[in-house]
Structure 1
Amino acid sequence: MALGFGSAFADVHAAELRVCADPNNLPFSNAKGEGFENKIVTLVAKDMGATVSYTWWAQRRGYVRNTLKAGLCDLWPGVATAVDMLATSRPYYRSGYVFVTRADRHLKIASFDDPQLRGLKIGVQMVGNDAMNTPPAHALARRGIINNVRGYMLYGDYEKPNPPAAIVDAVAKGDIDVAVVWGPLAGYFAAKEPKALTLTPVEPAIDGAQWPMVFDISMGMRRHERPFKDKINEILEQERPQIDAILAAYHVPRMGG
């Protein structure tokens, strides 16, 4: 049985850092270790004198219950800071939603109140349940911008590689005029498109009083494992320059505080 840091942290040189990750979720992670979260957890494990051991699970409903809380792994990178169901580390980056447009269109959209949005074909990421839709979907709906909106499933067709890329592809192909996309996804896939795309951070950072467009991102772990959390925080702080370099290499948009 693998020795996890969360359950046996007295031995800070335990053999494995057990990580929960999605095997088909670039730019964050994949089974080949090509995502930026793969690179960051490898860095963390190195500083712990450990190797990374993955529990692969598609990030769908029940993900935490079936991985971290089931005791199969001890660390979930890339979770929103202060999420209710977990303990979280210090943030290691801050990103947000961006408007994605073709550079040759010169649309210059930065706000949901831009009147152009009422006459454009808009793409938004959808989770599939009205109560769980992304903040941009709610922001558009509360302005009555509905009929010209096309939803793109955040998870997409899991049988294909990189399912979240479809919304960025649609902008590049001209199928839609503008998309509102989570920053790390937008930055990574936009850089791979043959057509130049423009990424503009959504402003303001909170839409009304309810819908944040910018999030601090941390590593999640089970509650009541303070020594483990403290060690993760220590490493994230000392490796900040290297982590920043990894994020930059993946074109992750960084937002201010």
Structure 2
Amino acid sequence: MKKQLTTSAFIITSALSGFAHANDINPQLQAKLDEANYLYESGRYREALDIVHWLDEKGVAIDHDFYPVRLGTLLPLWKRLSSSYNPARTSYNSKLKVTIFDTINNPQNCTSYDDTQVMLDINGSYDEFITLLENKEVDYPRVWQRCWDQASTLAAVEHASKPLIESYLVDLSDHFDSYFVPLIDGLYLQCSDYDGDEETECQDGVKDYLLGISLSYQNAAMIHYGLSEAGSIGGSTLKLLLKWQNVEL
């Protein structure tokens, strides 16, 4: 279950990164990012790290559209670089330590919140992020409201975190019906923009996405609220699948 979480959360970030690319980030930033990747692949780690540091410090100030790219592309590059180059490991770990401290002590700082979420995900330590959120939530209810996002919702559900679910989702079946059902239905309808096999592949991907999220919601419901709540989520899922089936006929 928790392995599924990190995948889901990171997919969200990657999708945001792709959105930024599709809308053209600043050419200087794109060139720098491409250069950093090239230098990393060429084993020129010190030069790559210099660019990573520069982009991390200045990229968003130059172009705010770089923000999701920094999360979805730059931070993972920094982590990969840290596996091969000790100064990169030192700087990555130092940034993570400072970021976690800032998140705990300033919950309104959504940049630190996002960085902590992504960096712990990359590290395979998403449990630590959930624990961090829960511990603060106990003393300061709804303290994360300003920075709460879709990835956080998936994290709370897939970890079956009752404190976070009850603070930010309130009711699992109602939240699934009001948020994810229309969202995923909209994604399915967008598949009609493709033709032939591409449309089918798109539709199959959306179905898999629906089933994965539905299963996470049902599991959390069974753990904390019982069969009736889980069954309601399963019923909504089946209803949507049947709707799509009728459209395809």
Higher RCO (CA 8 Å, separation ≥ 6 residues): 1
TM-score by length of 2: 0.30
TM-score normalized with structure 1 length: 0.30
Max Rg structure: 2
Q: Which has the higher strand share?
A: 1
